[in-house]
Structure 1
Amino acid sequence: MALPTSMRLRGQRCFHRLHRNARRHHGQWMVLRTLNGDLSLLRPELRHRPAKCCRCAVVISSKVHKRAVRRNRLRRLFHAHLRTRLEQRVELAGRWLLISLRPGASDVEESQLLEECDSLLKSAGLE
């Protein structure tokens, strides 16, 4: 099951802004980028709707694993994990998160990846 639309981060401009301006937290297998963002600047249709929760995205390139099935499985795993951790956290409203997996991350146990994700969330002050 995908993230609810209120939690999904979409749009090329959002990703460009995250890559340029976000604070980075590096782990062995992934990078977490966080940014306090205002979506109304990039998506005018959201101007009158207050943010209810943070916006999240998971990026897994073909360098991580060649097969799309494996990349999608990892993406779903992280979306579910982020949903359980962050969906009800009202104080994180307006925050943008981007998780990028590094090459070789698909060879690591899923539990280790989720532990690293939790430690990166904690170092970012989100946990």
Structure 2
Amino acid sequence: MLPKQNRLRRSRDFSQVYRRGRKAVSAHLIVRGWAIGATPEKTVPMLRVGVVVSLKVHKRAVVRNRLKRQVRAALRTLLPRLNPGFWIVISLKPEAVECEYAEFLRELEQLFTKLEVFHGHS
């Protein structure tokens, strides 16, 4: 599980990321990232992430939930390297059913680098 403060939960927040964010695609994942600027009440907003697995990926909820857990576990290892001030939505493609943890980790690293979400990118 991701820490509560790092989760995207409201439908409105997901919609904003889909509308305003940049997109990067790999063989099994689609990642959208939206860089939130500094807000008047907070200097740097908290990093927030949501994982989406639709019925198109697999009909069984057991399989979809397993995929979400694998992606979240990979994400947890990358969390300390991510810049605050980003909202990220990770969507899985139907091909992700064959994917394992190591592949998710590798693809997330590549996509986050492409979107410049890691520390050191601006």
| TM-score normalised by the chain length of structure 2 | 0.82
**Are residues 1:56 and 2:55 paired?**
no
After superposition, residues 56-95 of structure 1 pair within 5 angstroms as 56-86=49-79, 88-89=80-81, 92-95=83-86
Match of 1:92, SS state, is coil
**Are residues 1:29 and 2:28 paired?**
yes
| TM-score normalised by the chain length of structure 1 | 0.79
Structure 1 unaligned spans of 5+: 41-46
| Conserved? CA contact 2:74–2:101, under 8 Å | no
CA distance in 2, matches of 1:50, 1:6: 16
CA distance in 2, matches of 1:114, 1:92: 17
| Conserved? CA contact 1:57–1:99, under 8 Å | yes
User: Where do 4+ consecutive residues of structure 1 move more than 3 Å?
Assistant: 47-53
Q: Which amino acid counterpart does residue 16 of structure 1 have in structure 2?
A: S
Structure 2 unaligned spans of 5+: none
Decide which moves more: 11-20 or 100-109.
100-109
- Corresponding residue for residue 104 of structure 1: 95
Deviations 1:54-95 (A, max 9, x none): 111110111111111111111111112212212x34x71121
Cα RMSD of the aligned pairs, angstroms, is 2.3
CA distance in 1, matches of 2:54, 2:70: 15
Decide which moves more: 112-121 or 54-63.
112-121
Query: Taking every aligned residue pair, what percent have the same amino acid on both sides?
Result: 37
Match of 2:94, SS state, is coil
